[in-house]
Structure 1
Amino acid sequence: MRTYTSRWLLAVTLGGALALSPLAASAYQDELFSLKNRWEHTVTELPANQRQGTLEALSDEAEALASQNPNEADVLVWQGIILASYARERGGLGALASAKEARAVLERAIELDPQGSNASAYVTLGALYDRAPGRPLGFGNSDTAERMFQRALEIRPNGIDVNFYYAAFLKEEGDIQGAREYATRAVEGTARENRQLSDEALRREAQAFLQAL
């Protein structure tokens, strides 16, 4: 199983959560919105030598927000995305603890929301299972990665991220024809309204990937 590379382009009880006032609920959404925007700025605009430290700080913020909202799937998905991005930037075996934490958080999010926040949880899990080292050191598994990507494609077949990361997975599995097909779908895919910067960056990466095949 392949190890992490830098290539891979992030407490309250349920009863307490239901009792939140509209103002408190709004505050949680505002904080999550801020995390999303700062993550997107980090992965699309910051130079490489600044990303790791920024993502580490964002992962701490995401953990704090998740501890206050442990039954909000969208919060957990974003905690997982940020942790996975941080693991990617760290690289090597030092990233494994963050990758394992991201996996656990994303699997919990899927228990709460089987759609995985419009497939985002499944895409990130697919990449994690693909890039992590295999047993006994890690949890990497190509078959599980494949299942995660397929589930993401069922939910959001036109997603740029879904198709791009699946294309990269197929290339490394030796399926060049499949990689070309899904890279083309990524180039022609639909950017999400709330993820335009990162999706358009992936579209450009998919174009370069397709040209190199």
Structure 2
Amino acid sequence: MHLINRRSGMVSVALAAFACTLPAQAAPDEQLSSIQKKWAECQYQSKDEDNQIYCMENLVKMSEKALKQQPERPDLKVWLAISQSSLAGADGGMGALSLVKSAKVLLEEVIEQAPDTLAGSAYTSLGSLYYKVPGWPIGFGSDKKAEKMLKKALTINPDGIDPNYFYGDFLAEDGRKKQAIEYLQRAAKAPPRPGRELADKGRQADIAKRLKDLGV
């Protein structure tokens, strides 16, 4: 996921899904997979900015509904946080920081209550927020906290595509080119995730672009 780029001072997040309604009778795994699938469609298949914003707005609603139905599920809480962060980056504007602050609270709750949820995804997502969101006095961004969160994500899921990609991206932004390449190449070799083929394909494209930017 891309989030708010505090180094450029611009909101540039991209995550969410096409408009749809989550069936009330959907089983728990169907709820989660529906949200993940719609996120990947919007992230990697949206035709333009307006379409992507519309998708993300609906993904937030979809995620909110799922969590309201089953508030005890930390995995749905993680995905609501991702949805909110996605909308913040796509739409920008004055409401972006309130969205990412809400996402931060959700992710902190998951880390406190069920840190291993989705192979430590809360750490990955919160770490990404910390290095993309502006720092004080505008936001809560912190490179120190970002690195701590991303390293923790890697201890839980060392071979995962997302923790390796985001740590590599963080290192690249921090000017640590050699280390960045190492983690990005690890991300490129990550095992495929069943049922998340579109997300994996899109993320591999992100990895290839980042490596190209680094001269690889």
| Bucket of the pairwise TM-score, normalised by the shorter protein | 0.7 to 0.9
In structure 1, the partner of 2:119 is 118
Range that drifts further, 160-169 or 24-33: 24-33
Judging changes above 3 Å, is the alpha-carbon distance between structure 1 residues 163 and 85 closer, same or farther for their aligned structure 2 residues? same
Q: What is the distance in 1 between the residues matched to 2:116 and 2:194?
A: 18
Unaligned runs of 5+ in 2: 1-5, 17-23
Q: Report the counterpart of residue 20 of structure 2 in structure 1.
A: none
Describe how 1:120-199 pairs up with structure 2 within 5 A.
Answer: 120-199=121-200
Deviations 1:30-83 (A, max 9, x none): 333322221121112112321111111110221222223222111101111111
| Matching of residues 68-79 of structure 1 within 5 Å | 68-79=69-80
* Match of residue 18 from structure 1: none
Q: Are 1:116 and 1:122, in contact at CA under 8 Å, matched by a contact in 2? A: no
CA distance in 1, matches of 2:54, 2:36: 16
Q: 1:25 to 1:72 in 2, by over 3 A?
A: farther
Match of 1:6 in 2: 12
CA distance in structure 2 between the partners assigned to 1:63 and 1:26 by the alignment: 15
Letter in 1 for 2:101: K
- Determine if contact 2:111/2:122 at 8 Å carries over to the other structure: yes
Distance 1:83 1:43, change over 3 A: same
Percent of aligned positions with the same letter in both sequences? 35
| Number of equivalenced pairs | 200
Question: Who is 2:21 aligned against?
Answer: none
Tell me the CA shift for residue 141 of structure 1: 0.8
Unmatched runs of 5 consecutive residues or more in structure 1: 11-23
Q: Displacement, 1:212?
A: 2.2
Mapped to 2, the partners of 1:28 and 1:115 lie a distance apart of 18
Q: Contact 1:191/1:200 (CA < 8 Å) preserved in 2? A: no
Residue by residue over 1:91-140, the C-alpha shift from the partner in whole angstroms, topping out at 9 and shown as x without a partner, is 35531111111111111122231113212211111111111111222111
Q: Is the 8 A contact 1:4 1:132 kept in 2?
A: no
Q: Where does residue 19 of structure 2 map in the other structure? A: none
Alignment of 1:5-154 (within 5 A): 5-6=11-12, 27-49=27-49, 50-91=51-92, 93-154=94-155
Q: 1 or 2, which has the higher helix percentage?
A: 1
Distance 1:8 1:147, change over 3 A: farther
Q: Which region of structure 1 is more displaced relative to structure 2, 90-99 or 56-65? A: 90-99
> Deviation of residue 9 (structure 1)?
7.2
- In 1, distance between residues paired with 2:186 and 2:135? 29
What's the TM-score, normalizing by structure 2? Answer: 0.83
Task: Provide the aligned C-alpha RMSD in A.
Answer: 2.1
